[in-house]
Amino acid sequence: MKKTYGWAGNVLHVDLTNGKVEKIPTSDYKPEEFIGGVGLNAKIFWELGCPEVGAYDPDNPLIISAGPLTGIYGPFGRAEVGSISPQCYPDELYTYSGFGGMFPAEMKYAGYDSIFVTGKAEKPVFLSIVDDEVKVKDANELWGMDTFDTQQKLMTDEPGSSNLVIGPAGENLSRIAVILNETECAAGQGGFGAVMGSKNLKAISAKGTGRINIADPNSFMDLIKLIVEENKKSKTAVNFRAPLFATPEIQNGFQDRYYKKQYGCYGCPQQCHSIHEVKDIGRGGLSCANGFYWFFSDKPEDIWEANILSQKLGINTFETALFFPHLLMASYVRGILKSNKVRDDLGLPVPRWLGGTDSNHEFLTVLLGKIANGEKPYSEGTARFIEYYKDKLEFGRELMAVYKELSTVNGYHVHYINNLGGELHKAVDTRDPYNSCHDYLNQDTENPHIHNEAMDHFGLPTFEQSQTVDMNKTDYQRVDNTTAWVQDNQSLKNSLPVCEWFSTPKNFHNSPQMDLRVFESRMLSVVTGLDIDTSSLAETGERITNLLRAIMVKRENRTRESDTLNEPYFKKAVTMNMVQTGPIDKDKFEQLKDRFYQLRGWDVRTGQPTRAKLEELGLNDVADELTKVGRLR
């Protein structure tokens, strides 16, 4: 086999319906054009014909791709999942979610850049990968086990393996089930744990003794030195510790008693996660999303149980720690949801923040239990929970109105996007786009100098004018540039991959050698041996964004009309996460979309890519296919 640099060289396809295992050279998927991660996932999904099936249909592929930088030194130890998502609402869309830990590197050492699974096994199975040896094995014994026990069993049976698993929530097809590696490295948004569950696939176990070749080891050493220096200087080095977001007093007390160790993805010097152990409750991890549990409690031990329960059951904490309680609390505060209705109508314990006397512990354990057991509507995720009650309760429609203030049009809780650039990005994505868009977060209203410093980076290739994003939400000019830039940057970050925490402009920006794109293109060049400069890398980001858009257009008939926000954003100022957004002027927003599509080279009338743009990016086959299905005008 030809020696490859950076890439492991193989894509693994397993069809669970007939047990067939197939190894395809990665070069068949043009990795130099789509890199890895979301880019390679999109390419594989496109080649599979963008199946117009539901999330639980056996023909929905579950695609997992690492990138050429995964498994080497640095903040690159991640992979991305791509699949039709059961969590997207109202329609199940093709979307993405990333994760770190050990598995992404391990799959590369085993020899695979991507693993994609199609079909459905007759009974519970797991996929066992030890280098070249790939087997579909019986998982009867594992089915029903929590994520920690499953991994421990698999690690005992195959020492040195790293395991990607689902918990009971995934088995029972909860639409907010995660795919988990280790303690808290999860592909969280998307509900992909349930896609695994629908295939009767309990786990993917990987063990690799192979290698990742570096084209230019000497130059690579120089880049490592830069990472080491930057990591030392980093102003915003992240280390998540429990109880995140609590008062310093509570936090210090908890740390003193229970903090065990820093932890993180393989190969990364930052190690931003942490492990805590609370006596009689248990040990588990913490990163960002699960930290939101502490927003509503002053009893950290109680919350700790909810945290590790989420990890063990395999539940998306962005839903259970943030979206769902946030929605109930907002409805209660506004007088829409009365205390007694929480128990009588919604069937849940009533904690203090909903005017009751039940403990947070009770509320959370009951809720998590229902989700893990697949009890509807709880297990369906926040969006469908509200949909379920909309016409059943006299205040159902009011609940729906609150839901709309807190969510994207595709059913996800919004993140801290507090400017028009973020809103536009949200409107054109398939989920909450913050998988890798903290770039917008750098518009720090309290520290505008940080904002300016960070935004200087947006002057790099292609979108020179995107230096500023208005924080007062009145200036709609130039926002199109910023959104396009961040979108392409997101495509790159999630394809190389580069960790979001390490690579926000605020974190990783000292000019000139550490500028985004400059650093990324040098890194990719010395690792892969390809000649990649800043502008060719920028074009690659644009190509991936366009392929993702083409998938939306082909499979989901994505149009200009679907690129929007929920109505409340156009009607009033919506305050969430302490950040005020809107009201957004609808006419100006539509004009912004005009300019955005123009800048993108997309049809302004339809919001769909044009042949000229697709051909410019070498996506001629994509243009032909879109023409064939009547979606290229």
Q: Which is nearer to other proteins, 215 or 329 (CB)?
A: 215
Nearest to 413 by CA among 545, 320, 313, 531: 320
Q: Which is nearer to other proteins, 103 or 116 (CB)?
A: 103
Q: Which is nearer to other proteins, 270 or 566 (CB)?
A: 270
Q: Which is nearer to other proteins, 211 or 572 (CB)?
A: 211
Bridge pairing between strands 201-207 and 162-165: antiparallel
Smallest gap from Cβ 209 to other proteins, in A, equals 4
Smallest gap from Cβ 583 to other proteins, in A, equals 46
Smallest gap from Cβ 245 to other proteins, in A, equals 23
Which residues lie below 8 Å from residue 143, measured CB to CB, with a gap of 6+?
A: 124, 171, 202
Smallest gap from Cβ 191 to other proteins, in A, equals 24
Q: Which is nearer to other proteins, 201 or 275 (CB)?
A: 275
The DSSP-derived string for 217-252 is HHHHHHHHHHHHHHHHH-TT-----SSTTS-HHHHH
Nearest to 427 by CA among 573, 549, 578: 549
**Distance from C-alpha of 318 to C-alpha of 8, rounded to nearest angstrom:** 33
Smallest gap from Cβ 263 to other proteins, in A, equals 5
Smallest gap from Cβ 454 to other proteins, in A, equals 24
Residue with tokens 């690159």: 76
Q: Which is nearer to other proteins, 234 or 562 (CB)?
A: 234
Q: Which is nearer to other proteins, 55 or 313 (CB)?
A: 313
φ, ψ at 185 (rounded to 5°): -90, 100
Asked whether the beta carbons of 33 and 541 are under 8 A apart, the reply is no
Exposed (0-12), middle (13-18) or buried (19+): which is 464, by Cβ within 10 Å?
Answer: exposed
Asked whether the beta carbons of 72 and 63 are under 8 A apart, the reply is no
φ, ψ at 117 (rounded to 5°): -115, 130
Q: Which is nearer to other proteins, 14 or 180 (CB)?
A: 180
Smallest gap from Cβ 213 to other proteins, in A, equals 5
Smallest gap from Cβ 126 to other proteins, in A, equals 18
Smallest gap from Cβ 225 to other proteins, in A, equals 10
Smallest gap from Cβ 260 to other proteins, in A, equals 5
Asked whether the beta carbons of 67 and 524 are under 8 A apart, the reply is no
> Interface with other proteins by CB under 8 A: which residues?
71-73, 101-102, 105, 109, 148, 151-152, 159-160, 162, 182-183, 208-214, 217, 220-221, 224, 228, 231, 260-271, 275, 283, 285
Nearest to 314 by CA among 108, 172, 410: 172
Residue with tokens 């007088």: 335
Which residues lie below 8 Å from residue 35, measured CB to CB, with a gap of 6+?
A: 67, 68, 492, 495, 496, 524, 540, 544
Nearest to 411 by CA among 85, 27, 105: 85
* Cis check: omega of the bond before 583, within 30 degrees of 0: yes
Q: Which is nearer to other proteins, 102 or 354 (CB)?
A: 102
Tally the C-alpha atoms within 13 A of residue 409's C-alpha that lie toward its C-beta.
18
What's the Cα-to-Cα distance from 273 to each of 117, 184, 289, 302, 308, rounded to whole Å? 29, 8, 11, 20, 14
Structure tokens at 631: 């979606």
Q: Which is nearer to other proteins, 46 or 220 (CB)?
A: 220
Smallest gap from Cβ 5 to other proteins, in A, equals 9
Q: Which is nearer to other proteins, 221 or 573 (CB)?
A: 221
**Distance from C-alpha of 29 to C-alpha of 439, rounded to nearest angstrom:** 29
Q: Which is nearer to other proteins, 271 or 559 (CB)?
A: 271
Smallest gap from Cβ 42 to other proteins, in A, equals 26
Asked whether the beta carbons of 208 and 108 are under 8 A apart, the reply is yes
Q: Which is nearer to other proteins, 224 or 530 (CB)?
A: 224
**Distance from C-alpha of 595 to C-alpha of 489, rounded to nearest angstrom:** 19
**Distance from C-alpha of 383 to C-alpha of 407, rounded to nearest angstrom:** 8
Q: Which is nearer to other proteins, 181 or 483 (CB)?
A: 181
Smallest gap from Cβ 76 to other proteins, in A, equals 11
Sign of the dihedral defined by the CA atoms of residues 124, 129, 130, 133, in that order: positive
Provide the phi-psi class of 557: left if phi over 0, else alpha when psi is between -120 and 50, else beta.
Answer: left
Sign of the dihedral defined by the CA atoms of residues 403, 408, 411, 413, in that order: negative
Bridge pairing between strands 201-207 and 125-130: parallel
**Distance from C-alpha of 471 to C-alpha of 56, rounded to nearest angstrom:** 41
Smallest gap from Cβ 232 to other proteins, in A, equals 9
Smallest gap from Cβ 181 to other proteins, in A, equals 8
Asked whether the beta carbons of 610 and 601 are under 8 A apart, the reply is yes
Smallest gap from Cβ 79 to other proteins, in A, equals 16
Q: Which is nearer to other proteins, 264 or 422 (CB)?
A: 264
Q: Which is nearer to other proteins, 159 or 512 (CB)?
A: 159
**Distance from C-alpha of 121 to C-alpha of 346, rounded to nearest angstrom:** 36
